[in-house]
Structure 1
Amino acid sequence: GSCTNSSFMIMSAVASILKGNTVASGVSLLINPGSRQVYEMLSRKGLLSDMISAGARILECSCGPCIGMGGAPGTGNVSIRSYNRNFRGRSGNKDAFVYLASAVSCAVFAVKGEIVDPRLSGLSIQIPKEPRRYIINDNMIIKPKEHISPVEIVKGPNIKDVPVKEPLEDDIEAEVLLKVGDNITTDDIMPAGSQILPLRSNIPAISEYVFSNLDNTFSRRAKEKISSGGIIVGGENYGQGSSREHAAIAPMFLGVKAVIAKSFARIHRSNLINFGIMPLQFRRSEDYDMISQGDKVLIENVKELLKKDQIYIAKDITKDYTFELFSNLNDREKEIIIDGGLLPHIKKKIKTK
């Protein structure tokens, strides 16, 4: 369930499998309906009681066990989930074996207590018909007031102001704080879990955990270089996985000015831009092998070259060689980067109206 495979139609099929059956001994079945509306429809149709009677635990409509917020499997245990991520350690236990399957398959496995072909399980699997209409429940939406007036924002001790980056500098001269390989996930960059997620409203606190699973010295070293800033070097598909904004916000807070990679995952690339971090790509992938963690890199005339869509000539000062980079940003993305990110960009546009 949760954000994936949790619609009313899918949950109805799951309920048909569980109806009149019991979850096998030694199996824990957790179900996350996708929304309050799905939850309410399951209840009205009597399907929720079929799930509960079978021994399933009904969880909040939230981002929960998928990111280690409850439901963490035991050490060495197997967990089969219909979520969309199973990166190592994401479940809350690095030593668990987490696999992905359809919600229907998960329900069959839960009843049988083993992995079987759902088609040969002997269980009744009913594919429901699309409802003529879905519940629309908007009674908890707070309507805006007709007349705008100043509002006091009440903040507890764990709620800090969102940090805002300064406008793009003409030159970027910084140390490579970390060099990582291919397919680095947003979980690698900004881990989740029950210890870290409660800090999402406190960027200074959550930034202590940036890259902590890969290098627990990163945050400390970044702070030591914060006056000059830092650079991260990555391989192919840097930033794959969850669209976790904190994987861009927290590095920005720690002074990261640019990420140089062979290629970027699309959503994370957008998040980097929105928080003022330059997403730069190697023009020649072989140059990735030349650069090392700890090298000092200089990229001159960044702002001017960005405006003209020209190639950046970067110099590895430590090794005394040059290499070429490109950014491939559209006009709006260029404006956002130059202004220091989306928040200062919007603020600037409002002021000029």
Structure 2
Amino acid sequence: MAYNVAQKLIASHLVTGEMLPGREIGLHIDQTLTQDATGTLVMLELEALGLDQAQTEVSVQYVDHNLLQADSRNAEDHDFLRSACRRFGLWFSKAGNGVSHPTHMQRFGIPGKTMVGSDSHTPAAGSLGMLAIGVGGTEVALAIAGEPLYLKMPEIWGVRLTGKLPPWTSAKDIILEMLRRHGVKGGRDRIIEYHGPGLATLSAMDRHVIANMGAELGATSTVFPADDQVRAFLRSEQREDDFTELLADSDATYDVTDEIDLATIEPLIALPSSPGNVVPVQEVAGRAVAQVVIGSSANPGLRDFAIVAAITKGRQCHPGLSFDVNPSSREILQDLTKMGATFDLISAGARLHQTGCMGCIGMGQAPANGSNSLRTMPRNFPGRSGTKEDSVYLCSPETAAAAALTGTITDPRDLTELFDLEYPEIELPEVSSVNLTMLEKPLAPEEAGKVALVKGENISSLPVFGPLADRIEAPVALVVGNDVSTDEILPAGARVLPYRSNIPKLAEFTFDQVDPTYPARAARTRDSTGHILVGGTNYGQGSSREHAAITPRFLGLRAVVAVSFARIHWQNLANFGVLALEFTNAADHDRIEQGDVLLLTGIHDALVTGKEILVQNETRGEVYPVRHSLSSRQVDMLLAGGLIPWLRERRARDTRDVMKDWS
């Protein structure tokens, strides 16, 4: 049978299930990735599971999100993460070493391998011919412990690329074109696989840009073949021995198809406040810009910084504009400096910041109210920048550089006339500045077992939640519309993320962007009836951070009834014992108001049999049919109160069975 690349990756790691779209499958996982905004919970979950040593080939903990040490909390979390890596057998990437995704690609990515990460942009590793999937932290913890990853078999969406990009465009414009065509829900329950002759013109790091932002399409993952471009990348990283060719069979087919002629791509830009709100730059040219930020995992390559340096070389950024540069890895900063490009950026007025995520996650670089910020980042959800009423645009490095020079949104193609500037040709080094000094290897098992976890005052234990009730009668604490993101459920940024290991404190910020009265109202019913949330389509899109499921659950959330869910948040809700239900009739969403009391009965039987549940609105005397799409494994897990209680029960049962056999 002819297979495409995605099918080859899945088939070679299939543990359970059949490769039929919609069916649950289990995959063996080779590698894991965690970052500090989500990793502390993963390490607490490893402790709760009683893990001795990591069972994966490679597991790496990065410190790249929370680098602003305004007080002791972030430093304490970094100490905890390092001690957990030493205890459980993980690599530790120190603060300042690099953003997880490009750094992992440089140092650890291997064609043909699988990886899960507690970051929704983990699919960036698909640029090397890997199957990399963003999931909640609990599932990463289980993968580290040697458990399979369970998910619904996605459709494979083949996107054929032809032609070559014209000057003043780059890989960011390709993924923005995909978002312009298909929006933030276009990739749901799909793996996107790029193929065709146009691939030969895209470097491995260009492909990283596209694979990274496949998450904004809602895709399960994005994959590319492992071809000569991947071999060249690994050779430049002095890791050519890790290369294995992985190509689609010549007669491979796809469940869904699309095609892009790269020669037709023009500079594009995502308007506030959604990555799917994409238009040509020409349509919004002339709007004033107060801030330009270069960097993030969405445009992390040396080329992405070097092209900005070449465009701005010998010129000055516009007066009154903040021109911010966040290097994506220490290695890339070294190469940029060797090329002289760092000097060119600084001379042009750039502010050089730490190697890390920084403004992408709202950790500094918050823009002024009422001003426009152009960023080479993956997301512009409301308030994500750290400014509640922000106005953030997403664009390519070329478009960002043009705005830095002019102070307005400018089509970079106009720079030829404005500054007599032809599109720069840049030469990148054939061999990268490999730097291993800030990577700590795992300890030998006999040494690791002696390590004690270092827990500061800000690190609390995981909350313990009880089994799912058969009957829920509770008020609706909040009704929200479509495309509510996890950033809106639980904000990121410097004000909130330092509490990421302190669930009781973190819960105080839940839905702060939407309704700051929610935490206090929810807490009043936490120990009695609990409460219910009602959502629109694509509820929980965006970040994989499981905190957005844990803190509402901590505040007494029993169920979410929505028109539809984003994949990772849907799974995270189940992982922490929250019932996720979908309206049979989408219009019923508009019939429910905050404060209505909803009654659900016979929940356990309906979950097991797959029958519809009738939700009774006791306030309005109405009934709404709802359904679930949980597998039988997930149902068992939900009835046990979540993934960790279920796994504990299963392992205890297996131990009892073994003891019985021995006796």
Q: Same fold (TM over 0.5)?
A: yes
What's the counterpart of residue 191 of structure 1?
Answer: 491
**Structure 1 residues 108 and 332: CA distance shift in structure 2, 3 A:** farther
Q: 3-state SS of the aligned residue for 1:29?
A: strand
Q: How many residues were matched structurally?
A: 353
Deviates more, 1:325-334 or 1:142-151: 142-151
Q: Deviations over 1:154-178 (max 9, x none)?
A: 2222111122322222222322111
Q: 3-state SS of the aligned residue for 2:647?
A: helix
What's the counterpart of residue 100 of structure 1?
Answer: 394
Residue 461 of structure 2 corresponds to residue 167 of structure 1: no
CA distance in 1, matches of 2:434, 2:557: 44
Which residues in structure 2 correspond to 1:215-254 (within 5 Å)?
Answer: 215-227=515-527, 228-254=529-555
User: Is the 1:312–1:325 Cα contact (8 Å) retained in structure 2?
Assistant: yes
Q: Deviations over 1:53-82 (max 9, x none)?
A: 222122223332233321122232221111
Which residues in structure 2 correspond to 1:279-290 (within 5 Å)?
Answer: 279-290=580-591
Deviation at residue 308 of structure 1 after TM alignment? 2.1
Amino acid at match of 1:262: V
Residue 304 of structure 2 corresponds to residue 10 of structure 1: yes
**Structure 1 residues 343 and 67: CA distance shift in structure 2, 3 A:** same
What's the counterpart of residue 424 of structure 2?
Answer: 126
**Structure 1 residues 333 and 9: CA distance shift in structure 2, 3 A:** farther
CA distance in 1, matches of 2:519, 2:305: 42
**Is there any run of 5+ residues in structure 2 with no aligned partner, and where?**
1-294, 655-663
Deviates more, 1:279-288 or 1:45-54: 45-54
Q: Deviations over 1:81-122 (max 9, x none)?
A: 111222333222234432221122111211233322211202
Deviation at residue 253 of structure 1 after TM alignment? 1.0
Q: 3-state SS of the aligned residue for 1:49?
A: helix
Q: 3-state SS of the aligned residue for 1:286?
A: helix
Which residues in structure 2 correspond to 1:21-170 (within 5 Å)?
Answer: 21-122=315-416, 123-126=421-424, 128=426, 132=430, 134=432, 137-139=435-437, 140-147=439-446, 149=449, 151-170=451-470
Deviation at residue 128 of structure 1 after TM alignment? 4.6
User: Is the 1:24–1:110 Cα contact (8 Å) retained in structure 2?
Assistant: yes
User: Is the 1:168–1:337 Cα contact (8 Å) retained in structure 2?
Assistant: yes
Residue 595 of structure 2 corresponds to residue 297 of structure 1: no
CA distance in 2, matches of 1:164, 1:134: 47
TM-score by length of 2: 0.50
Amino acid at match of 2:444: K
User: Is the 2:380–2:393 Cα contact (8 Å) retained in structure 1?
Assistant: yes
Which residues in structure 2 correspond to 1:294-333 (within 5 Å)?
Answer: 294-333=595-634
CA distance in 1, matches of 2:538, 2:318: 40
CA distance in 1, matches of 2:436, 2:649: 34
Q: 1:258 aligns with which of 559, 563, 575?
A: 559
Amino acid at match of 1:11: F
Deviation at residue 6 of structure 1 after TM alignment? 1.9
CA distance in 1, matches of 2:331, 2:610: 47
User: Is the 2:482–2:535 Cα contact (8 Å) retained in structure 1?
Assistant: yes
**Structure 1 residues 43 and 275: CA distance shift in structure 2, 3 A:** farther
User: Is the 1:13–1:125 Cα contact (8 Å) retained in structure 2?
Assistant: no
Q: Deviations over 1:298-339 (max 9, x none)?
A: 222222321222211222223333221111123443343233
Q: Which has more helix, going by share of residues?
A: 2
CA distance in 1, matches of 2:428, 2:536: 44
Q: 1:182 aligns with which of 461, 482, 485?
A: 482
CA distance in 2, matches of 1:315, 1:200: 36
Residue 640 of structure 2 corresponds to residue 346 of structure 1: no
Deviation at residue 351 of structure 1 after TM alignment? 3.1
TM-score by length of 1: 0.91
CA distance in 2, matches of 1:150, 1:331: 39
User: Is the 1:16–1:124 Cα contact (8 Å) retained in structure 2?
Assistant: no
Q: 3-state SS of the aligned residue for 2:413?
A: helix
User: Is the 1:7–1:33 Cα contact (8 Å) retained in structure 2?
Assistant: no
* CA RMSD, Structure 1 to Structure 2 (Å): 2.3
**Structure 1 residues 346 and 135: CA distance shift in structure 2, 3 A:** farther
Q: 3-state SS of the aligned residue for 1:307?
A: helix
Amino acid at match of 1:144: L
Q: 3-state SS of the aligned residue for 1:257?
A: strand
Deviation at residue 132 of structure 1 after TM alignment? 4.7
Deviates more, 1:67-76 or 1:220-229: 67-76
CA distance in 2, matches of 1:342, 1:11: 42
CA distance in 2, matches of 1:30, 1:178: 38
User: Is the 1:24–1:111 Cα contact (8 Å) retained in structure 2?
Assistant: yes
CA distance in 2, matches of 1:191, 1:182: 17
Deviation at residue 226 of structure 1 after TM alignment? 0.7
Deviates more, 1:21-30 or 1:201-210: 21-30
Deviation at residue 282 of structure 1 after TM alignment? 0.5
**Structure 1 residues 255 and 96: CA distance shift in structure 2, 3 A:** closer
Deviation at residue 134 of structure 1 after TM alignment? 4.7
Amino acid at match of 1:25: P
CA distance in 2, matches of 1:307, 1:193: 40
